[in-house]
Amino acid sequence: MQEMRQRNDRREAPFGSRKQATKSNLRRPLEPRAASRENAIGKLPEDNRAALARNGKLTPPVLAVGGEASTTGPLMSEMMREVAETVTELRVPRAAHWIAEENPDAFLDGLKAFLETP
């Protein structure tokens, strides 16, 4: 047991402790990364539209899952229909954003029914 403890004591995160790694990340300037992310994110809609025009819509069946209590829940199937030919909507009751955690039984029942559909 003591040998195991000694081995664990020798293990370190790549940048020392996790707490130290987090503190060092917070000290780094974020401007260059943020600027590059904004540029990349700004191109995503254009890239997605081009890929959709080039490749067409998804052909496998797609399950659009949304929580009944979520403001974005009703939009899931609408958004998926823009990019997929066959969309099945699953609105999970008593769930908002964390669907699988908030109502796992209803989520799994809906997922199972979708997967069992020929």
Tens-place pLDDT, residues 8-46: 444 444 444 545 545 555 555 554 555 555 555 567 788
Alpha carbon 98 to chain centroid distance?
A: 11
Q: What angle do CA 118, 59, 88 make, to 5 degrees?
A: 55
Digit-coded pLDDT (tens) for 53-74: 999 999 999 999 999 999 888 8
Bridge partners of 65? 90
Please tell me whether the overall predicted TM-score, pTM, comes out greater than 0.75 for this model: no
66, containing H or E segment:
strand 62-67
